[in-house]
Each structure stands twice: as C-alpha cells, then as structure tokens.
Chains A and B, each alone.
Chain A
C-alpha cells in the first residue's frame, strides 16, 4: 500500500468549474419518479440547500451526487469532471448521513480515522488528524468511547468529524440535524455555518425545515415532486416566490386574489389596525407564541391572511382578547409579490 495518499480526483480540475453540475438527471423506481429531469449548478465554496417535503427528490439528488444512486439518465460533474460512472469510493465527496451511520464496533477515534486508514495513511498522522478534527467539533477526549455511549448530539458531531477529516472539497449533509432537539439544532446550525466558512468548502445540505434552509444557505433549491420549483438566495425565495408551492412551503402562504391578480403578502408585512384603511375582516384565531402572536383573519372580500405581531406592549391576555374583533389589514404595495400558478 502506498504511503502517500493518491491525489484526490478532481483536485487538479479546471478553476472556475462549478463544484457540482447536474444535467438532465432522471431517477425512477419502477413507476415512481424520484427525480424528473433535473439541472443544477452549485458554485465552489457555496452553502447550498436542497429544500423540500419528504418524497420530493432532494435526498435522491444528494445520493446521486454521492454515487449511491445511479441516475437513469443525465450526467454528474464534480469540479468539471464527469463522475457519472465513478464509484462512490473514488468521488471527491464525503457524506454526513441522516442516521449518522457510525460503525458500532469501532471507537469514536477509529470511526473518525476510517477514511484515512483505508487510504493507507500512517497511524501517527491518522491519530493526529483525528484528534485535531475531534477538537474542532468540540469533542476532545471522547475518542476512546464507542458510539453507543454518546448522546445524539455527540454522535452527530462524530459523523461530521469523520467526514471532514478527509478534507473533501465537497461535503454532503443529509438532514443531519433532523434527530436533534430544537435548542441543539439551533446551536448546530450556527456551528455548521461557521465550520463551512472556516473550511472554505462546498456544503450541499438537505433539509425539509424551511427556517433552517433560510438561515444557513447561500442559495437554495426548492424541490417538489422530483422537480426544482425555484433556485435562489434565501431572500429571493422568501420574498419573490415564483410558484404557489414555493410561497406555501417557504413561509406562510398568504395568497390573495384581487382584481384578477394573484399575489402573496408575508405575515410580518401586514399592519393590523382597528379602524382606518385596508381590507376589512374578522380575527378568526389567535395563536400566542411567546415573543409574537399569530392572528388568522377572515377577510370580508374573500380569503384569509395570517398576520404576525410582536408582543411589544401587549400581554397574552390582550392578544387573546382580539379574537372575534373586526380589524383592518393594510400593507405597502411593494411588499406584495405576484405569483404564477403551480406547474400542474
């Protein structure tokens, strides 16, 4: 076995090529279409999120990039190199699995150094790099434990360490925070974002959590039924949803039809007053969420809008008393966005 690790495929690829380029990818399981013709470019160094409900094809897309699924049609390029027919073990990619997929018969440090070990890197260097990465994911001194002795959050970080110790130019993350509780998830979101910036590598991140997608991504793709509905920056996708599906999935679907015009207006952009101008309606439901309150308003002219109001000077009691009251809703015209119909 060679003492020197072979040069990573793609490491010497043309500068400026996208980290990932998918062209015409199609994947079906019998009758079920998982991906129906997909084109996607992910730039080098980008934090790119594949967002969508379960069964929308986002995880299959990630698995096509990793090489676990062979597309029925189309090409996968990584850094300008066509890897459609390259085995997963030879792709310059590492994955953080949804169930972490830690080897139960190995200790934490053995798990982390696995990738270095199969490449024939010497024991001393292996240990050093593994310890360094474990410290980086804030798990120093846990190397001797078995995965079963760790908490969910710790296992998640071991899975992360095991992937990044190989210094891949591209890291794939398949709903890595899905099994963690809310507080830990929010901590890890910040941590992952910092890590991506420090490492300067491309992250492709799969999630069904729109908030996670909006807070972490440089750009995101919204998936629905095996297709991409929209690609853009979080602000783009949130403020200018191109389809009704995107409007509904990313944020709350406040869709109105007035004078033949279909548009959305986000809940936090609506001003709710007792008198004055604007659409008249009745408060149907009040949901107190601590820092803010969500009101669902039935409009006299048809339709229903969700309004969010900060609890600046009002208590929960004040908020709940709004139920059944007549209100006026107004918003600035520049905060409404026309949307097309769903692709049906």
Chain B
C-alpha cells in the first residue's frame, strides 16, 4: 500500500497523465485510430497499385511513331482497333479467355469433392494431412512445376511410357493447348480448394439434417442446399484461377505449342521485342475488362449474397 501511495507522488505521474490524455483522445476520436492503422497500406495501395493501373489505362491510348519509335501522347483508339480487327490478336484473346474458363471449371469440379471430404467427412488428422498435401506443391518454384509437367507430357515422357507399358499406345499432348490447360489446372488447384473448403466448412450440420428430415436424398441436398451455400467459395476460388490464368505467360511459353500464345506473351513481346509499350498496355487491359465483367455477372447471380 505504501509503495503504491508513493508511486502517485513520483515523476511517474505526468507520464500517467499524458497516457490518459492520449487514450482519451483516441477514445473520443475513433477515426484517428483507423487512420493510423490503415494509413500505410492505403498509401501503398493508392500510389503503387491504383496509380500504376491508371498509368496503364492512360498509356493504352497513346501510340508509337513507327519511324522515330518515340511515344506520341496523342489520344486515339488505334491500339484497340488493331486488337479487335486483327484476326490473330482476336484469336489470342479468345484462346486466353477460353483456356482460363476451362481451367476454372476443371478446378471447380476437382476441388469440390476434395473440399467436401476435407470439410465434412475427414477426421482432424486426415484433414491436416490433406491440407499439407494441397499446399505442399506451393512450396516449390512455379517454374520447376511447369518443367516437371513438361517431362510428364513429353512425347517420350512419363505419361506415354506408362501408357505404352499398359499397351494403350501414346498421346500427343506435349506442346499443345491441352498441355497448357492441364498444367494451369494443376498449378492453380490449391487456390480453388481452399476457399471451397472454407465455404463448405461453414455450412451448419443442422441444415443438412433439416434437408434430409424434409425428405431430400443426398443428391437433392447437394443440389438445393450444399451447392448454393458453397457458391461464394467457388466464386472466390474462380477469381483466383481465372485471373491467374488470364495474366500468365510462362506456362504457354514453356509448355505450349506454336498456337498456344496468350495475351501475356503478346504483351511480353510488345514490350521486349517491338518496344511498343502503348500496345502492350492496351492488350493488358483486356483481361482487366474481362475480370470486371465476370465479377459483375457473379454478383448478378447472387454469388456474394451468402458471404
């Protein structure tokens, strides 16, 4: 007691008063705390992320003078006209979007049963082991995984060797759009499994019991209760798989064939080879626009309502 009474008289007191004033200020101005907390990330987000997006968008309306190779800051739609009117660029855009959609659908179909098993059937130990199995590939380099798939799919690769041993002949998947589709589906699968697992885990058991109690069998329960409630997870996962595929250029370059060029490859060549940054910027806005449309459709379908 004596010690505490003495404390109040010592130089600790002004410190305590300052502390009181400070906490009182934060208490009566709640937004200051939010500002302190969010300030740095907002600054980074605004400057680095949004500003570069704006720069990308603005420069897509510029052109390069073919003689001087100088960038001319005159607004025109020339780049976009080239993209939409040239059959080659149109094909590349459609191929990119088409394969991204195929990868997304493939991953959703693969991830759902696995996510369901992990979330609702597996015991904690099995679940933990499956988690490690799903995440383990992410620990190795993306490049290594693509090269390994090249070894598997090669004309003399593991796949054809196995098929040959089984007497099933061989398949010519190497350096084709099939290879690109298979590798993307493999590489992005964890990004679909995790959100789907999360959505399935959040469904209360009593909802499934109620469905069965009301006379629905397993399939009806899946269709009318489980799938609609897991949809936000599937959409979240599809945002990853779709946008990651849309923006990639390494897998098409390493494992694709002559006609496997993606938007990313054209962007890469436009910047690195033909030095046409405005055209690269214009082509790079296509995936952004596609994603924006995709998100709008997902919202229309009510994918975010149950979040």
Contacts and interface: CB of A to CB of B under 8 A. Distances in A.
A99 interface: yes
Interface stretch (B28-36, B170-178, B183-191, B204-212): B204-212
Interface string A241-263: 00000000000000000000000
Interface string B189-221: 000000000000000101101111111110010
B206 A101 contact: yes
Contacts of A337: none
Contacts of A95: 209-210, 213
Given A101-B204, A103-B225, A105-B229, A118 B210 contact: no
B206 A166 contact: no
Contacts of A166: 214-215
Contacts of A67: 212
A93 B204 CA distance: 21
Contacts of A66: 209, 213
A101 B207 contact: yes
B225 to A, nearest CB: 6
A119 B224 CA distance: 13
Contacts of B212: 67-68, 87-89
Contacts of B228: 105
B305 interface: yes
A7 to B, nearest CB: 13
Contacts of B210: 95, 97, 101-103, 162
B306 A94 contact: no
A104 interface: yes
Given A101-B204, A118-B216, A88 B224 contact: no
A129 to B, nearest CB: 13
Q: Is the interface of B mostly helix, strand, loop or mixed?
A: helix
Give the residue among B212, B220, B225 with the most A Cβ atoms within 10 A.
Answer: B212
Contacts of A117: 224
A114 interface: yes
Contacts of A94: 213-214
Q: For the side of the interface on A, what is the size category?
A: 20 to 34
Contacts of B207: 101, 103
A162 B211 CA distance: 11
Contacts of B215: 89-90, 115, 118-119, 166
A68 B212 CA distance: 9
Interface in A250-308: none
B214 A68 contact: no
Contacts, number: 66
Contacts of B213: 66, 68, 88-89, 93-95
Contacts of A162: 210, 214
Give the residue among B215, B224, B228 with the most A Cβ atoms within 10 A.
Answer: B215
A178 to B, nearest CB: 14
Contacts of A115: 214-215
Contacts of B206: 97-99, 101
B202 to A, nearest CB: 11
A290 B206 CA distance: 40
Contacts of B211: 103, 114, 118
A105 B209 contact: no
A101 to B, nearest CB: 4
A118 B220 contact: yes
A289 B306 CA distance: 46
Nearest to A174: B206
A105 B306 contact: yes
Contacts of A90: 215
Given A97-B206, A97-B209, A104 B216 contact: no
A118 B211 CA distance: 9
Interface in B249-307: 305-306
A110 to B, nearest CB: 10
A227 B244 CA distance: 59
Contacts of B224: 114, 117-118
B246 to A, nearest CB: 29
Contacts of A101: 204, 206-207, 209-210
Given A118-B220, A118-B224, A105 B214 contact: no
Contacts of A97: 206, 209-210
A66 B206 CA distance: 13
Contacts of B217: 87, 89, 118
A270 to B, nearest CB: 45
B214 A118 contact: yes
24 contacts: A66-B209, A68-B209, A68-B213, A87-B212, A87-B217, A88-B212, A89-B212, A93-B213, A97-B206, A97-B209, A98-B206, A99-B206, A101-B206, A101-B210, A104-B229, A105-B305, A105-B306, A114-B214, A115-B215, A118-B211, A118-B214, A119-B215, A163-B214, A166-B214
Given A101-B207, A118-B214, 4 more contacts: A89-B214, A89-B215, A103-B211, A162-B210
3 closest A-B pairs by CB: A115-B214, A101-B206, A101-B210
